[in-house]
Amino acid sequence: MLLDTASLYFRAFFGVPDSFVAPTGEPVNAVRGLLDFIARLVNDYSPTHLACCWDNDWRPQWRVDLLPTYKSHRVVAEVPGPAPDVEEVPDPLNAQIPVIVEVLTALGIPIVGADGYEADDVIGTLATDAGMPVDVVTGDRDLFQLVDDETGVRVLYTARGVSRHEQVTTEVVVAKYSVLPSQYADFATLRGDASDGLPGVAGVGEKTASSLLLKYGDLTAICRAATDPNSDMAAGPRNKILAAADYLDVAPKVVAVVRDL
């Protein structure tokens, strides 16, 4: 079981009353909520292994260099040099993050991060060729690209809450988006995602994105068809794809989860 830790402690902070305080008076609602989430998940699924995956860099510079809008709306202060920019995090939550680290360490739960990478990339690496079934716990749809029934990778999707999470398999991804998990990163690139600062292709929504992927297979083939005057791509989507050529050159590298750290 791989936890997208920030996704969970943000949810805990906003979902658990701030009446939970330490003896010294500081709020610990995010700490308490995260531990409750972990206890519930462990009790329900009895994982043989458990890791809290960590954002050592929540907005890696190499992704920003490719696409400057990436998560730009969440930056409250730019930091020169290799250190990550400062993310918009409520002060009462920010104060609890060191406590979360201390408590997880005391419990012997590994915190796994990689400098220059997000928790998504750590999860992608650990889930790939794990040699065992993997449950990825997250509220981030981008990780649907990791779902693989053959290797037993599924997502426990917490967007509606940990207690009402959804088990996302290939069947669920296909039913929701009419694409395979292996096509999800291309689908997200085409559709865009305002929460991550991905503009997407103007005029291309979920329906058009899925229909293009159903017909052509992947983004590379879609772009190839758009630039081929003899292809059967209709003028509408062709013009939209061509107009977004610069974005489509870089965005797939931003959206794709790293799987070989």
Select from 110, 111, 134 the least CA-distant residue to 124.
134
C-alpha 101/C-alpha 38 separation (Å) is 14
Residues 192-228: tens digit of each pLDDT: 999 899 999 999 999 999 999 999 999 999 999 999 9
Q: Is residue 227 helix, strand or coil?
A: helix
97 with 228: CB under 8 angstroms? no
pTM for the full model? Answer: 0.93
C-alpha 54/C-alpha 215 separation (Å) is 37
What is the separation of C-alpha 231 from the centre of its chain, rounded to a whole number of angstroms?
34
Q: What is the mean pLDDT of the segment spanning 121-149?
A: 97
C-alpha 236/C-alpha 212 separation (Å) is 12
Q: What is the mean pLDDT of the segment spanning 69-74?
A: 90
Round the average pLDDT of the chain to a whole number and report it.
95
Q: How large a percentage of the chain has pLDDT more than 70?
A: 98
Residue 77 has what pLDDT?
A: 65
Residue 75 has what pLDDT?
A: 81
Q: CA angle, 138 as apex, 128 and 37 as ends, to 5°? A: 120
Structure tokens at 44: 């329900």
Task: For residue 129, name the pLDDT band (cuts at 50, 70, 90).
Answer: confident
Quick one: CA dihedral 120, 121, 124, 127, positive or negative?
negative
Question: What is the number of other CB atoms lying within 10 angstroms of the CB of residue 234?
Answer: 8
